[in-house]
Each structure stands twice: as structure tokens, then as C-alpha cells.
Amino acid sequence: MKSYIQRIHNKAQCDISRVGGKGANLMELSAVDGINVPEGFCITTDAYRKTFESCAELNSLLARLSTMEVYHKDEITGLTKEIRRVIENREIPQDITEVIEAELQTCGEELSYAVRSSATAEDLPAASFAGQHDTYLNIIGMDSIIAHIRKCWASLFTDRAVMYRIHNSFDHRKVFLAVVVQRMALPESSGVMFTADPVTSNRKIVSIDASYGLGEALVSGLVNSDNYKVREGKITAITIGKKNRAIYSLKSGGTEEREIESDLRDMQTLTDAQILELEQLGRRIETYFSCPQDIEWCRSENGFFIVQSRPITTLYPVSERKDGMNHVYMSGGHLQMMTEPIKPLGMFFLKTVLGHNPAVNREFGGRLYIDLSQDLSSPMGRAMTLGIIGAMGDDLLTNALKKLIKQKGFIKTLPKGKDRMIQLGKEDVTFAPLIHAVKIYRRNDPKIIRKFIERERRSIEQMRQEIVKLSGDDLFAYIQDDHHDRRKKVTPPDVAGAIAVSLLAGQWLNKKIEKWLGEKNAADTFIQSVPNSITTDTGLSLLDVGDVVRKYPEVLAYFEKAEDDTFFDDLVKLEGGSAVSQSIREYLDQFGMRCSGDIDITTDRWSEKPTQLIPMILSNIRNFEPNGRMAKHEQGIRESEERIEDLAYRLEKMRGGKRKAKKVKKIAGIIRNHISYREFPKFSYIQRYFIYKQALLKEAEKLVKKGALQKKEDIYFLYFHEFREAVKTGTVDYNRIIKRKEDYRDYEKLTPPRVMTSDGEIITGEYDRKDIPTDALPGVAVSSGVIEGRARIVKKMEDADLEEGDILVAQFTDPSWTPLFVSIKGLVTEVGGIATHGAIIAREYGLPAVVSVENATRLIKDGQMIRVNGTAGYVEIDLPEISV
């Protein structure tokens, strides 16, 4: 038999599918010792289902709503209005109204109640739905309560609730609404308490907002509430709000807004003792639910009542401390220009690449963080850490660390030991790279880079031939040994010396030119079309593919509907398809291991999903004439040579100028001959990743055939050692995979901080805004020049639709984005620094670029005219918009 009523103070009946998230939380709260929850009951989803199960009009409207996307705003508004009309006019079956009336008579029909929505997808750990559905206060009488129950049901389909469900991928037809009917507490004061600071995310700080009367005044923004910060039983901050008005209950039902007496407006709403009592209640609730809570409270003459508690869903996860000490974590993703979450299999490989010491690697929120605690615990360690991080050029990251270091009391609590990012063993202090750098500088032979590239290619080819002979545990052992050995082999002393030469030469030249001629970052302007650049070739070679494609109309038409699974089979059936197929295959042979976020081995490579290349090919055809590669390459060489000659000419006019000009030309030649190798080690890693991946997927296919996996890509959600064990045993814990897939979807919604502490506190860095226009967005200047153009916001590389002269605005770019760089005139990203991949590539293409512009993809509108100052490091966005 269906139950239409469940009492709040009966945890045994708690079933979220029947009482919704709010109802379930209230039933849980009622069981916590020392927590007062007002009496009441839940009208279950059984009542909702029975009322509407045979409503053909509603079912038809819901079917239409299920096809809507977030951009169908007008259609959604019209549909939701119709749905709410149907629900509010629907007669509730008599057997349901009878049990509601009986329950009200038991509780006291003459009393006042709050009637509150409680959806089955509400107050959940990953999606709070806070404020999405309606609440009605001080409702008196059976008829009025029944009418407001229907209003609550209808609020399941407000525009805001529907949009929220679409954004979080909830099916409208599978979300139902219970209704909480709860005694009104008639409070003297009320508010909200967060058991983790909502501003800093610090889990040790409780933040309390408080105002007079009902909490609606606070929620609606009618008053500036008091705010109290409490840390471990001590009030650390009190901010008194201007409380001019409040909302109170009327004896006849409903609420009214009243003015607060003048002598109370600037008084503290809660006494210090009450603040500390409330903090203790909050910690008790948090302990019960095992996660930080967003708690609604009120206080009457009978003390504090808790009327809601839900998980705080906006906090970034933090690593658990096993030593009980404070720790500091730095984002590894920001160093790699890859802030998206990484699947477990990919995490194994990334941990090996980042840092000499695996003991400092920490994984939370689907990202890799580096524990800097022991590095920052000593003066020398702090100096070295800031020096190394500062050289990478992410000012927000560096400034955040500087801010944290100023908190001397916190720094003293960091653990000391040998688990440091910066290792000081013999291997790390060797002078071999510097000795090689001196030799390479003196020789200045461009052939040395080709020699290094060829040496690594031979190594990769050898590995490719060896790995195909292996399977089972032998394969896993081979991959593990090869990958752990890569760091030393990819950058041996002579290679490290070659990389150092170009970096040191660039620093010297920039410093001297700024001193002599007053120009910043001069080296940025003459490294276009450098020889042996694997990243530049990635973009320019795709222009050649476009030259083949543009000849064949049938192929161009097919590109509009191409499918990855049948891509090459379909091509050969078309006129010119064989030639196009050959051209694309040749491109993929060289660069097919690339893709956006290719530092994660699990991401789909271009060779696996070649249709990712189609938008870039079509963009090149639109924006370039035939033989565009050669024209672009020659233009880059010409502009670089002209720039070097211009610097030399201006220097020669100075005192001692001929000597300075000669020196600059030599240094410029050294930079051009060696700078390209800076990106090759990562390219080498990515080549190996793809070979590893192909071999590992063959093992996954075997598990699929055994029935242990549903599809081979499921192994992405196993760590390397778990996958290895699965191959040994032939079995997989599939619940683990399902759970990790759910976690990954949640992680995708998170924004990872650059620096955070083990308390969960996010440490933010700020820019020095001196010499930057007031309304400009500050960032890090990484490629000189000033350019105006149309901003194109690109979230995914394969969705890019660029015209020549556009300015690319993205969360991040990595070397796989290089094909987009041939069309654009400037670059803006949310992460990165002077030494990161995107910055180096921008300089090679001669693109003015500013990186580490916080929230650039949200603050800049797609199609807006912007000005990028890649010399001073800012973006101006107050220019007139143009149509897209």
C-alpha cells in the first residue's frame, strides 16, 4: 500500500525517493542528539505520482520539455508556464486529502505551518538545487495548505529549476516532488550557517549570517545581515550589517515586512554565547553527515531550531591529512596548461612526468596537486620554490604562494622532512647541463637539434617494435619501466643544455634590449618560423591537407556529416576521396597522437577520432589561399629577419653600438637555432603515450571478450596497477568503475584552485595593476605586441569556428591547439605562464598573447571586440561589439 504521509521525527521511514532531499535531511536531522527540528510531516512523492499519473496533458508537455536544451530559453519559458498551470489546477485525489487532513488534526490544524518543496533531486552531495523550488511560510488552515501544496508541486517547473536540471543532466520525467509541512518556529532571529567558509573554502572556519525575524529577509537580500566567523570555538571576526527591515509572521497567516527599531539596527543580532552555541550545533551536524554543511537555522525564545541542512556542493575537494599537520598544495594542471580532470589511468602517467619525488603527488578533485609543505618549511626551500615557480611565469600562482608565506604562523606548522618537490641530491646539482650549454652556445650549430630529434625518434621506433611482441603482465612491466625511465632519457645533460641555451639567451637579450632601447620582451618578436619546430609544423602541415581537400566539393560536403568510425571508408567512395584520405593519413602518421589535453593518456587522439581535425581544415580553407603553408612560413622568416635587422640598426647608432648589434645578432641566431627543441620532449612523451595506449587497449579488448568489461574504454577509470591486476585475474570490480565515472562527471564541474591548504582554504594571487587601464583584465604578458580583433570563446578545440584575424580566448591551450594558431591574430587564456607550452607556441607564431587572465571565457563575450596587449600584459574589453 502506498504511503502518502511520513512524519519528520521518524527516521526509520526515511526514503529519499519518497520524501525528497529536503525531507530526508530533516528526518536525518531529527535523529541527531541535541538538534531541535520543528514537528511536521512529508507528503510523499506517491501523492505527486498518483495525482498526475493519468494526466495526459502534463505527460505530453513533459515529453516536449525533455527535448529542450539550455539555449531554448523562449520555448522553455512557454512550456513551463503551461505545466505550472496544469499542476495548480489539478484536483488532488480525495484519499490523499483525507490523510493530510487527519495528520493536520493530530498536529494542530489551527497552527501555522511552513509548506516547503522537497524534490528527489535536491540537497544532494553533488547538486544542491538550493533555492530552485518554492517555500511558503505561515500558512494556516486546511484549504490554504492544500493550495500551497499544489504551488510547491508547480515550482518543480519554474524556469530556474528546469534550467538547473538541464545543466546537471537530470531527466525532468524522473524527478518528483514531495512537500514538507512543518510547524512554524516564529523566530526572533534566523539565518544561514556554513561549516566551511564560503569565501575561502577553509573547513576550519564556520561562517554565520544572522538577521532579525524570518530568514526570508536575508535570502531575498532585503537586509545586510550580520556575519560572524568562528574558528575552533573562538570568534575571529564580527561584521555588523545594517538591518533596517525584517519579515515577520502575521496572526492571520502569511508574512509582512516591518521596520526595525532604530536602536536595534546596528546591534549584534546574536550574542557571543549564542554564536558559539550555534557553531557547536553546526559542527555536530557536520560530523553526523560527514561533510561540510549549509544550514538554515532560526532562534525563538525556546532556543535554536534547525530547519534545513544540505551539503555544500561548491567546495573543491581536499586531500586527507594522515599526519595531523598543515599542508600546502599547488596545482600541477596549471603548470601543464591542462586544468580539466584526468581519469585514473592517465593519472599514473602524469604523476611520473611531474616532479622527481612521487611522495609529493596528491590527487583530489580529479586533478594532480603537488605537496609543497616541506619545500616551504625552510627559508632556503621557500626561496628555491619561489624561484622555480616564478620562472614559469604564472604570476597568480607565484603571488598566491608569496601571500601564503607571509602567514608566518601557518608556515611554522608545516611538516619538515625530505618529501620535497625540489630534490637536492647529487643528480640535481650536477653541472653537466651547463657544461653542454656552453659548448652548444660556442658551436651554434642548428644541426645539433636535428641530431637530438633523430636520436629520440630512433628510441621511439625501437620501443614501438619491442612493445608489439608483449602482452599480459610482461606488457605492464615494460610500460612501467619505460615510462619511469623517460624523464632521464628525454632530457639527458646534452639535451638539457640545448634547452637551457635558448632560455638563457632569451633572458639575456630581453634584459639588454630593455636596458638599451626600452623595449620589453624583444626576443618574442623574432622566433617565428624557427627550424625544427614540431609544434609549428603541427599547424602549418594542416594547411597542406586543406590544399588537397579544397579541390573536391564532394569531400567538403561529406565533412559536414562525417563519422569517425567510417571516416576513411566513406572518403574513398567520393571523388577525390583517395587523395584526401592519403593526405590526412600522412598528417596523422606525424601528428595523430595529438589531441586537446593530450597529457592525459585516456583522451581521444586525432588518429582515433579524425573528425576532430575537420573544423580546423575548413577554417584553413576559408582563411588561406592555396599554398598557404609556404606563404605563412616565409612570412614568419621575413618578419623575424626584419625585426633582428631593425634592432641591430637602432643599436648601431648608439655608443659602442656595432659591438652591441653584433652580439644581439649572434644571440638571436642562437635562440632561433635552438628554441624549437623546448617543445620536443613533451612531443616525445605524447608519442609514447599513444603507443602505450594502443597496446593497453588490446589488453582491454581481451577483458571485454571475457565479459569482465562492457567496453574497452572502461579501463580508463582504473589505475595502472588495478588494470594490471585485472589482466592477471580476468576480473574487474565494475561498481568501482561506475562510481569513478560518476565522480568524474562531478569533477568536470569544478574549477581547480592554483594553491590551497589542507584546511581547504583557497589562496588566491593578485596582479599589480600599476600601469594597467582601470577596466582592463590583467594577466601575464607572454608574447609581445598589441592587436585588436574579434574575440572567439573556444571551450573545445574541435568546436572552433575561426576567421582570420580572430583572437582566440580559451581556458587553456596546449601544443595540440597549434593548428588553430595559423588563423588567429592573438591569444588569451585563463591559465599559463611565460614558460608554458601555449606561450612558447604563441611566440613562434608571432601572436600577441596574454595568459593567466582569470575568468576570461566568462568576462569576455563571444564576438566582442577586444584589444590584447601582449607586451604589458592586459586585455581591454570595453570596445564596440561586432556581430558573430
Q: Which are the catalytic amino acids?
A: 837
C-alpha cell at 85: 498551470
Helix (H, G, I), strand (E, B) or coil at 369: strand
C-alpha span between 588 and 634 (Å, rounded): 24
Provide Rg for the chain, Cα atoms: 31
DSSP 215: T
C-alpha span between 311 and 36 (Å, rounded): 19
C-alpha span between 336 and 605 (Å, rounded): 18
C-alpha span between 809 and 815 (Å, rounded): 15
Assign residue 242 a region: left if phi > 0, alpha if psi is -120 to 50, beta otherwise?
beta
C-alpha span between 304 and 285 (Å, rounded): 13
The count of other CB atoms within 10 Å of the CB of residue 411 is 17
With helix as H, strand as E and coil as C, how does 149-204 read? HHHHHHHHHCHHHHHHHHHCCCCHHHCCEEEEEEECCCCCEEEEEECCCCCCCCCC
C-alpha cell at 790: 574579434
Assign residue 464 a region: left if phi > 0, alpha if psi is -120 to 50, beta otherwise?
alpha
Assign residue 778 a region: left if phi > 0, alpha if psi is -120 to 50, beta otherwise?
beta
Helix (H, G, I), strand (E, B) or coil at 47: helix
**Strand partners for 210:** 191, 226
Q: Which residue has the cell 614501438?
A: 464
Beta strands at 177-183 and 189-194: parallel, antiparallel or unpaired: unpaired
Beta strands at 807-810 and 826-829: parallel, antiparallel or unpaired: parallel
Percent of residues in the chain assigned helix, strand, coil, to nearest 5: 50, 15, 35
Mutual angle of helices 493-517 and 447-467, in 10-degree steps: 140
DSSP 655: T
Buried b (16+ CB within 10 A) or exposed e, 342-367: bbbbbbbbbbbbbbebeebbbbbbbb
C-alpha span between 759 and 56 (Å, rounded): 52
CA-to-CA dists, residue 123 to 4, 22, 129, 168, angstroms: 21, 6, 6, 13
**What is the full DSSP assignment across 235-272?**
EEEEE-----EEEEE-TTSSEEEEEPPHHHHTS-SS-H
